[in-house]
């Protein structure tokens, strides 16, 4: 069997706000403000010149196109996908590979394959954030 | 310059200077590099000379993306590319990706205010808070507070305290301290639909034990509550915050006029001590008592003393001050101290989220269709415990998701509990998700298990058919009323049923409808 250290949920903290992607779309909250609490580990991806204004514009177009809530998929297109995209946008660097490799690690085990249909349908949205990119904050 | 080898990207007007430049370095044959430009929505490849400036690059981009150059913001490796830089300067080589953000000209209101507020604050700028918000606490509108009591118990997810009444008081406090939130909650359509059901509201109010005591002492109040017209009017007013403010202003004016009539002050005082004060006390007990209590009692000598001719210059007590020290012993409230205040900054958003979460919506809908069960549910300690357990709520949400998928996959097949087995089996199954801890369905509810299960079934049904919530059969709902109408002589069952449905089960209104439509 294979031992996984954890199923990582990641988010990007920039301009003193935390941004993450869940089944409800892109959301933001104060850092560590979701129900999951303060982070297990913090990785410094770099520094960015992008202003908050531009970033929020970027996020809202992402939220309408690539990262709508319905597009959430636990394996292929999850919070880590989002964090990776945003990290590259902001700094040009990607997030650590042990996070992005997680789905393929799971799927490479027979157990993971067996569980796949069930896991595929799981929609995760850590409570505690506000949605971005919708004219009305309520879904 | 190799015209034929040139890319399709560079527009002709800039060919001139570029050509001049190009010819100077013609000998060096500037390399054409392929750069991918990525926007949130699409991705395009551009072939440009290595030594182009960002400005030229933008012009090429603006053609392809159909925007103006000043709308384009190019970002590479976290840096914003300025017009006078060159691509080489930033290290943009062949095959790399540059990010592009296209600024929209007229940004929606929410976005333009976002940079100024922290993103963590309320994003529902669509309903911008009105500048003169009337806090409802001081004026004796007990219905308002009664409603809040009911509402508060519904949306308590995510708060850290486990004791339910603590949660409730926390919610109420936050609501009262933030008039904007109150307004937003009032405007939430589901709140409004709940408020518009007079039966439900009446029961919620009656369920409050302090109100019950009050009603015993003052039968007039029970008249008020039972008169559907007044209830409806009050609810209308409660629903519409602007109207409420108007009403209160008028009331204040009328009261102050009364004061000046000889003997009027006595009447006022009597009215206050008999009716308003106990109500205010009852409703506000959780907040540390009536802040105005001391004001009245200080002039307790003789009922007939007119207010002194000079203006009273003492500042009125601050009703919104954080509740002082001792919580009342009647309720089980423990510290409503600043601890809740600090947590409350993030809580309003939680509450917003919870109110808008889909399962909340369907629950509210099913609740509003079952006023009796709703009141019962409020008191059932297990449901309360379940609702304050976030994991249970998450489980419920997952069930809803599963049911929705099921509904789309096999629309003909009714969702599990309704179609399958007996009520006992289904009750047990759904019961396990509702109660947060181990106790089985048979031991949990103190009142009849029947309606409890029924309610859960309906809730699950409602969750499953979230788009079109299943109404329990109107005939069943209105059984009692139908019988009454029959006894009164309205023999047309169909017409009765329709009238009952139209008035939501209100017999008197239904009778009026029937009489109005029948020529006799």
Pairing of strands B43-49, B32-38: antiparallel
Percent of chain A with pLDDT over 70: 94
A61 touches chain B (CB under 8 A): yes
Of residues B80, B119, B158, nearest to A28 (C-beta): B119
- Which residues in chain A have Cβ-Cβ distances shorter than 8 Å to B78? 46-50, 90-92
Cα torsion for B387, B388, B393, B396, to the nearest 10°? -30
Region B215-223 average pLDDT: 67
Closest CA–CA distance from residue A80 to any residue of chain B (Å): 16
How high is the pLDDT of residue B227? Answer: 65
- Is A120 an 8 Å CB contact of chain B? no
Residues 73-112, chain A: which have Cβ within 8 Å of B? 88-92
Give the model's pLDDT for residue B315. 62
- Tell me the H-state helices in B72-197: 109-113, 142-154, 164-177, 179-187, 189-195
Q: Please give the span between the terminal C-alpha atoms of chain A, in angstroms, as a whole number.
A: 41
Nearest CA in chain A to B159: A35
- Residues B254, B68: Cα–Cα separation, whole Å: 61
Let me know: does B484 contact B505? Beta carbons within 8 Å. no
User: Residues B245-262: what's their mean pLDDT?
Assistant: 73
pLDDT value at residue B467: 40
CB atoms < 10 A from the CB of A12, how many? 24
Model confidence pTM above 0.90: no
For all residues of chain A together, what is the average pLDDT?
Answer: 81
Domains plus CATH for chain B?
Answer: 32-102 (3.10.20.90), 170-286 (no CATH), 357-405 (no CATH), 474-517 (1.10.8.10)
Structure tokens belonging to residue A70: 């319905």
Residue B122 and residue A137: Cβ atoms within 8 Å? yes
Judging contacts by C-beta atoms under 8 Å, the chain B residues touching residue A62 are 40
Whole-number pLDDT of residue B40? 78
Q: Tokens 């926007």 appear where? A: B39
Q: Is the pLDDT of residue A5 over 70?
A: yes
Query: What pLDDT does residue B86 have?
Result: 85
Q: Is the dihedral of CA A62, A65, A66, A71 positive or negative?
A: positive
Residue B13 has pLDDT above 50, yes or no: no
Q: Calculate mean pLDDT across residues A119-134.
A: 75
CB within 8 Å of B258: residues ≥ 6 apart: B264, B265, B267, B268
Interchain contact, B398 vs A35, CB within 8 Å? no
> Which residue of B lies nearest to A125 if distances are taken between CA atoms?
B394
Out of B212-226, B250-264, B332-346, the most confident range is B250-264
Residues 6+ apart with CB under 8 A from B414: none
Strand partners for B76: B79
Asked if A136 reaches chain B (Cβ–Cβ under 8 Å), the answer is yes
Q: Are B40 and A66 in contact (CB under 8 A)?
A: yes
Identify the bridge partners of residue B34 per DSSP, sorted by sequence position: B47
CA dist B403 and B407 (Å) reads 6
Contact between A54 and B80 under an 8 Å Cβ cutoff? The reply is: yes
Is the pLDDT confidence value at B465 over 50?
no
Reply yes or no on domain A12-131 having CATH 3.90.1720.30: yes
The per-residue pLDDT for B318 is 66
Task: Specify the pLDDT at position B434.
Answer: 39
Domain ranges of chain A: 12-131
| ipTM of the modeled complex | 0.77
- Residue (of A16, A7, A84) closest to A40 by Cα position: A7
Rounded distance between C-alpha atoms, residue B351 and residue B29, angstroms: 63
Structure tokens at B274: 């008999």
Given an 8 Å threshold on Cβ–Cβ distance, is B39 in contact with A17? no
């Amino acid at each position: 069997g294979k031992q996984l250290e954890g199923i990582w949920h990641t988010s990007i903290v920039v301009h003193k706000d935390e941004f993450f992607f869940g089944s409800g779309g892109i959301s933001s909250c104060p850092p560590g403000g979701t129900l999951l609490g303060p982070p297990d580990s913090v990785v410094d991806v770099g520094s960015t010149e992008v202003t908050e204004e531009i970033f929020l514009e970027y996020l809202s177009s992402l939220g309408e196109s690539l990262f709508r809530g319905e597009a959430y998929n636990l394996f292929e297109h999850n919070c880590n996908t989002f964090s990776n995209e945003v990290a590259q946008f902001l700094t040009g660097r990607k997030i650590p590979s042990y996070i992005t490799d997680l789905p393929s690690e799971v799927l490479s085990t027979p157990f993971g394959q067996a569980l796949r249909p069930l896991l595929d349908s799981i929609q995760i949205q850590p409570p505690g954030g506000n949605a971005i990119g919708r004219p009305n904050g309520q879904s | 310059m190799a015209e034929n080898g040139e890319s399709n990207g560079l527009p002709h007007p800039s060919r001139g200077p570029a050509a001049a430049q190009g010819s100077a370095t013609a000998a060096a044959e500037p390399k054409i590099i392929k750069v991918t430009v990525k926007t949130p929505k699409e991705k395009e490849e551009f072939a440009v000379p290595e030594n182009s400036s960002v400005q030229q690059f933008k012009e090429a981009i603006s053609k392809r993306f159909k925007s103006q150059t000043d709308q384009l913001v190019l970002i590479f490796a976290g840096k914003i590319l300025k017009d006078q830089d060159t691509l080489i300067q930033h290290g943009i080589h062949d095959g790399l990706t540059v990010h592009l953000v296209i600024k929209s000209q007229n940004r929606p209101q929410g976005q333009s205010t976002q940079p100024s507020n922290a993103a963590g604050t309320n994003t529902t700028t669509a309903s911008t808070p009105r500048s003169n918000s009337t806090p409802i606490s001081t004026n004796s509108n007990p219905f308002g507070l009664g409603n809040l009591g009911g509402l508060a118990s519904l949306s308590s997810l995510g708060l850290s305290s486990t004791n339910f009444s603590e949660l409730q008081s926390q919610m109420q406090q936050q609501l009262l301290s933030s008039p904007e939130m109150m307004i937003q909650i009032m405007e939430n359509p589901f709140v409004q639909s709940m408020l518009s059901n007079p039966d439900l509201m009446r029961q919620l109010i009656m369920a409050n034990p302090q109100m019950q005591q009050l009603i015993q002492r003052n039968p007039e109040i029970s008249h008020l509550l039972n008169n559907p017209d007044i209830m409806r009017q009050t609810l209308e007013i409660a629903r519409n915050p602007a109207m409420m403010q108007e009403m209160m202003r008028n009331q204040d004016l009328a009261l102050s006029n009364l004061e000046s009539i000889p003997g009027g002050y006595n009447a006022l005082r009597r009215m206050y001590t008999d009716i308003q004060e106990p109500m205010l006390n009852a409703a506000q007990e959780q907040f540390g008592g009536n802040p105005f209590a001391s004001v009245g009692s200080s002039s307790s000598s003789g009922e007939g003393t007119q207010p002194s001719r000079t203006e009273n210059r003492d500042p009125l007590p601050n009703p919104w001050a954080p509740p002082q020290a001792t919580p009342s012993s009647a309720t089980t409230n423990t510290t409503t101290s600043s601890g809740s205040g600090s947590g409350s900054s993030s809580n309003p958003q939680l509450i917003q989220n919870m109110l808008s979460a889909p399962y909340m919506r369907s629950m509210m809908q099913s609740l509003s269709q079952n006023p009796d069960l709703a009141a019962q549910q409020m008191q059932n300690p297990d449901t309360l415990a379940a609702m304050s357990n976030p994991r249970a709520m998450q489980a419920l949400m997952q069930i809803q998701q599963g049911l929705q998928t099921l509904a789309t996959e096999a629309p003909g097949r009714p969702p599990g509990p309704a179609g399958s087995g007996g009520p006992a089996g289904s009750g047990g199954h759904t019961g396990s998700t509702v109660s947060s801890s181990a106790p089985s369905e048979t031991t949990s509810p103190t009142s009849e298990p029947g309606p409890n299960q029924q309610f859960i079934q309906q809730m699950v049904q409602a969750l499953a058919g979230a788009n079109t919530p299943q109404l329990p059969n109107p005939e069943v709902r209105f059984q009692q009323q139908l019988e009454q109408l029959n006894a009164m002589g309205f023999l047309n069952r169909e017409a009765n049923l329709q009238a009952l449905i139209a008035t939501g089960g209100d017999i008197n209104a239904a009778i009026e409808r029937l009489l109005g439509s029948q020529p006799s």
